[in-house]
Chains A and B, each alone.
Chain A
Amino acid sequence: MLQFSFWDILSNLLIATQWTIVLSLIAFFCGGIVGLVLLFMRTSRIAPLEWFTKIYIEFFQGTPLLMQLFLFFFGIALFGVEVSPWMAATLALTFWTSAFLTEIWRGCVEAIPKGQWEASSSLALSYIEQMRYVILPQASRIAVAPTVGFSVQVIKGTALASIIGFVELTKAGTMLNNATFRPFLVYSLVALIYFCLCFPLSWWAKKIEGRLNVAR
């Protein structure tokens, strides 16, 4: 039987970590773009757009991410399209991320005083121009901390992609555990790697938040 040394285990886990990072980045950036579009729709005061985003957010925030992964994995297949775990995971994580980011950002937009909307509309700025030049520049300052904070949730969320068979850090851990029968060591290392990815982001988010509070 093949023997795995400590270094074999660690290096295999680190290789798989690359996929955790890639998936996280894609989900975060695609989710951010979709989230921004949804944010415009959500705050547009156009009833059908608002309703659509409300239902969208309710669904993706109100159901387990795991269910969303299953639904994408099996749902796309119904259209006769070949689905890879990679594709299902990317789509589910993107939509899931966008729902949370939209809500976070909406909170930041709503924290901007009403007078800023009134003053800018009195200057004949259109809704998009108001958002672009007046509201978002201010909202984005307070949005940085919770957005960075949420990136930690995205990284942790990618762990669920293992369940539909995408080989990232968690899945690699499971496979190595089955091969080595050293669960304590393997899962300790897996947890440690996630910690090394997430903790700096958590710490950074907290630091920005603190600085913003002092600036007030």
Chain B
Amino acid sequence: MSLVSIRDVRKSFGPNEVLKGVSLDIAKGDAVAIIGRSGSGKSTLLRCINGLETYQSGSIVADGIEVAGANTNLRELRRHVGMVFQQFNLFPHLTAAENVMLAPTVVNKVSKAEARATAAEVLAKVGLSEKMDAYPSELSGGQQQRVAIARSLAMRPKVLLCDEITSALDPELVNEVLRVVEQLAREGMTLILVTHEMRFARDVGTKLVFMHHGKVHEEGAPKEVFAAPRTPELQQFVGQVG
């Protein structure tokens, strides 16, 4: 049984069809790396999975919850599907710990003390124990992104969606974030990552998805797919970025 199942999803922005029938199955413990050219619909697909965007046809079921437009129980869905953004989107008026504690206390009605213990645990996991009381403006980009990961982890999500989470970082900060994600993958967290880091996709991913013109153009085990791309589009893409 797959944890996230995407069936023939179509999505248009006005006349512009961005997803043209995407199907994908993601099993528990998978680390799916989605690659593809800019504009191929990677972000849109990710945002459909946690209901930030709606889609016109097809179906998405995540952790048993059907993501289907207006009558989806978005709150329930998002308790189980976390998301980390390219631009971090930390809440600037809250400290690192408060950022992490917010959703557990407000949504899950966990006590402050318990939430703080969780925050300490997840911040330790991303290597930021000593920054609990720092405000986002006092942290580097890499640290901010690790807080953002910790913030999602505090909800104990079944799936974590990551949309180019290292693209806004200076090159020397990329690795500290990737290491955290790699650690999560090793612990068996189900991950769906949109990424431009090809080496990371190959080494950490358990499954590679190449999107092209709003479709899953090629998919398979990362090492095999990279070693021998079947379609000319992926060959070209790998040639360009790799």
- Point out which of A124, A126, A129, A134 has the most chain B C-beta atoms below 10 A from its C-beta: A124
CB of A26 closer than 8 Å to a CB of B: no
- Contact: A123 with B102, CB < 8 Å? yes
Closest Cβ neighbor of A137 among chain B residues: B93
Distance in Å: Cβ of A119 to nearest Cβ of chain B: 4
How many inter-chain contacts with C-beta < 8 Å in the A-B complex?
62
The 6 closest A-B pairs by CB, nearest first: A119-B89, A123-B103, A124-B78, A115-B89, A122-B83, A124-B79
Chain B residue contacts of A126, Cβ below 8 A: 75
Distance in Å: Cβ of A120 to nearest Cβ of chain B: 7
Count how many chain A residues have C-beta atoms less than 8 Å from C-beta atoms of the other chain.
Answer: 18
Chain A residue contacts of B85, Cβ below 8 A: 115, 118-119, 122
Say which residue of B52, B91, B148 sits within 8 Å of A116 (CB atoms). B91
| Cβ < 8 Å to B, chain A residues 119-168 | 119-126, 129, 133-134, 137-138, 141
Chain A residue contacts of B82, Cβ below 8 A: 122-123
Chain B residue contacts of A115, Cβ below 8 A: 85, 87, 89
Q: List 27 A-B contacts (CB under 8 A).
A: A115-B85, A115-B89, A116-B89, A116-B91, A118-B85, A118-B89, A119-B89, A119-B90, A119-B91, A120-B91, A121-B52, A121-B78, A122-B78, A123-B78, A123-B82, A123-B102, A123-B107, A123-B152, A123-B155, A124-B76, A124-B77, A124-B78, A124-B79, A124-B103, A124-B155, A134-B102, A137-B93
CB of B188 closer than 8 Å to a CB of A: no
